[in-house]
């Protein structure tokens, strides 16, 4: 074990396991415990057997985490079935039967395979959209399902409205119960309550695809494709560690054989030399002495040949086992880096708002404290702006939720047009955006916010050929030396409230 190559290998191995386990933390509490134990043993213990033992002992916890994942997958599968049943009960429409049958077949065969979940969710949303959007136009001429459902004329729509609110309530309850069963880390609490609010507030059938998408997005994170990758990676790691341990034992044994071969050779050589010395002292004539020495030299030379051959064989074996160990370690490092990449991608997804592609509220929560600290330390000004779309509810109510979504997708472009690279924009929630301007002056902040306000006001936005004016109100504040980021946000938010009160479509600065 004192061999430097082996020590280095074990050190690399220890680092790889330790790093991998740290990256995976936060996906499941059970898994976190198991990983912590593995990490502690790996960093405090140099005995390969002890490391292998702790990996074995952690196995039940890993299996339990796997079972929990299975339970959540079942819950998600049942939710999709419930949603299909609910679709069948929607008034005045038909679910496309072939598409439904295909989806049911897919769910049946793929619900356990997490890698297929994005596809299943997408197909479910397509079925919902097809049911809600397509068939009624064809059947009812120009009158769409939504117009029919929400038209205030006639009894048919009143009955339909009743059914619609019942269906929406069922969908919302089904999805909320799925959310209640997810086990997500605490930093997802805000996101879960936002989605629950959205489920609760949704008043239109058009919201259903988004309700499903938002809920299943969280469910997918809880289900954790990364967790599955990690569990199989750890069990693979376990067997790799065991085989590396066996490799080390083999090279240790061959080292012992080398030592004993050298020892045998020394004794043999000593024996030959002492026999030669005795023979030389007892020799009576030169001829017999010459014969004797020749015989002894031959024996010594053949002993040396045998020894050299044995040494070569054993060295070859040792170097083979070292190179196998090296390959194993490099394979493990490669696996670890793929896993890290997957986890990073997952994290980026969880920090990005899927509608606007802007960093979301969780990303804001992660960045605001270090940014405040950095600006305080550098004694530079940090400006925070809260922007809110004016009368957005009436855009949704008049032109539909999909038109509202389009507005939400267009606004980030206007925001970015006035910002520089170091400025940051987040979708804070609903129709609210937060902008951070580090290292800025009051004048620059004012200028940029006014430019954004004007860009949104001038942004052309038409629905069915009708121009729809869109404006935003903005509240801005500069961070004070003794202020917390919560205090800063509160002052900007109050200014936003004032901007709304004073007639909207304006930017107001908080007094410092
Ligand atoms: N289309 C769409 N609407 C959303 C989304 N998130 C939130 N909303 C809607 O945004 C609207 C916000 O309305 P309110 O908070 O009443 O405010 P407002 O109508 O913008 O009025 P003011 O802020 O007072 O100017 C609600 O109708 C929400 O349903 C989304 O992702 N897409």
C-alpha span between 444 and 446 (Å, rounded): 5
How many angstroms does the Cα of residue 404 sit away from the middle of ligand 1?
8
Protein residue whose Cα sits closest to atom 7 of ligand 1: 430
C-alpha span between 142 and 449 (Å, rounded): 43
Query: Are the C-beta atoms of residues 464 and 453 closer than 8 Å to each other?
Result: no
Residues with CB under 6 Å of ligand 1 are: 201, 355, 388-394, 396, 401, 404-405, 408, 430-431, 500, 504
Q: Which atom of ligand 1 is nearest to the CA of 429?
A: 6
Helix (H, G, I), strand (E, B) or coil at 172: helix
Among 54-68, 93-107, 198-212, 417-431, the minimum mean pLDDT is found in 54-68
Counting ligand 1 atoms within 8 A of each CB, the residue from 197, 204, 396 with the most, and so the one to mutate, is 396
431 is catalytic: yes
C-alpha span between 474 and 432 (Å, rounded): 10
Interface confidence (ipTM) of the complex:
0.98
Protein residue whose Cα sits closest to atom 32 of ligand 1: 405
pTM for this prediction: 0.49
Domain range list for the chain: 67-223, 230-346, 361-509
Helix (H, G, I), strand (E, B) or coil at 51: helix
Protein residue whose Cα sits closest to atom 16 of ligand 1: 393
Each residue's pLDDT tens digit, 437-449: 999 998 999 999 9
C-alpha span between 79 and 355 (Å, rounded): 23
Query: Are the C-beta atoms of residues 477 and 437 closer than 8 Å to each other?
Result: no
Among 147-151, 164-168, 481-485, the minimum mean pLDDT is found in 147-151
Place of tokens 């929400």: 150
C-alpha span between 242 and 246 (Å, rounded): 6
To the question of domain 361-509 being in CATH 3.30.70.270, the answer is yes
Each residue's pLDDT tens digit, 355-402: 999 999 888 988 899 899 999 888 899 999 999 999 999 999 999 989
Q: Burial code of 34-69, b = ≥16 C-beta within 10 A, e = fewer?
A: bbebbbebbeeeeebeebbebbeebeebbeebbebb
C-alpha span between 199 and 214 (Å, rounded): 9
The rounded mean pLDDT for the chain is 77
């Amino acid at each position: 074990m004192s061999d430097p190559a082996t020590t280095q290998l074990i050190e690399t191995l220890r680092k790889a396991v330790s790093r991998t386990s740290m990256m995976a933390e936060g996906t499941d509490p059970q898994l976190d415990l198991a990983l912590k134990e593995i990490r502690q043993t790996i960093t405090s213990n140099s005995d390969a057997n002890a490391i292998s033992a702790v990996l074995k002992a952690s196995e039940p916890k890993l299996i339990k985490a796997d079972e929990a994942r299975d339970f959540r997958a079942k819950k998600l599968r049942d939710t999709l079935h419930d949603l299909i049943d609910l679709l069948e009960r929607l008034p005045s429409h038909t679910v496309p039967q072939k598409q439904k049958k295909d989806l049911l077949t897919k769910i049946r065969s793929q619900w356990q395979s997490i890698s297929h979940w994005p596809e299943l969710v997408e197909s479910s949303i397509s079925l919902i959209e097809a049911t809600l959007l397509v068939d009624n136009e064809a059947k009812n001429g120009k009158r769409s399902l939504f117009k029919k459902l929400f038209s205030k004329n006639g009894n048919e729509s009143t009955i339909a409205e009743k059914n619609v609110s019942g269906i929406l309530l069922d969908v919302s309850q089904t999805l909320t119960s799925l959310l209640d069963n997810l086990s997500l880390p605490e930093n997802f609490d805000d996101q879960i309550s936002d989605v629950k609010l959205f489920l609760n507030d949704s008043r239109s059938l058009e919201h259903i695809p988004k309700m499903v998408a938002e809920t299943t997005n969280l469910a997918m994170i809880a289900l954790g494709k990364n967790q599955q990758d990690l569990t199989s990676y750890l069990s693979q790691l376990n067997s790799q560690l065991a085989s590396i341990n066996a490799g080390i034992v083999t090279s240790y044994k061959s080292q012992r054989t080398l030592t004993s071969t050298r020892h045998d050779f020394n004794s043999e050589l000593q024996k030959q030399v002492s026999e030669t010395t005795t023979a030389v002292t007892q020799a009576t004539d030169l001829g017999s002495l010459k014969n004797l020495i020749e015989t002894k030299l031959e024996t010594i030379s053949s002993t040396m040949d045998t020894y050299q051959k044995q040494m070569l064989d054993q060295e070859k074996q040792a170097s083979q086992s070292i190179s196998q160990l090296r390959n194993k370690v490099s394979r493990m490092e490669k696996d670890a880096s793929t896993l890290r990449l997957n986890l990073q991608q997952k994290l980026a997804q969880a920090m990005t708002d899927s509608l606007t592609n802007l960093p979301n509220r969780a990303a804001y929560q992660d960045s605001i404290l270090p940014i405040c600290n950095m600006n305080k330390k550098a004694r530079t000004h940090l400006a925070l702006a809260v922007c809110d779309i004016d009368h957005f509810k009436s855009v949704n109510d008049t032109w539909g939720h999909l038109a509202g979504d389009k507005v939400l997708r267009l606004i980030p472009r206007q925001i970015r047009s006035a910002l520089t690279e170091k400025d940051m924009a987040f979708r804070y929630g609903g129709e609210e955006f937060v902008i951070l301007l580090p290292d800025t002056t009051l004048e620059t902040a004012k200028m940029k916010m006014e430019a954004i306000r004007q860009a949104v006001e001038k942004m052309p936005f038409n629905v069915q050929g009708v121009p729809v004016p869109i404006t935003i109100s903005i509240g801005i504040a500069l961070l004070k030396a003794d202020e917390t980021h919560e205090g800063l946000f509160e002052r900007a938010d109050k200014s936003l409230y004032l901007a709304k009160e004073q007639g909207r479509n304006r930017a107001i600065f908080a007094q410092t």
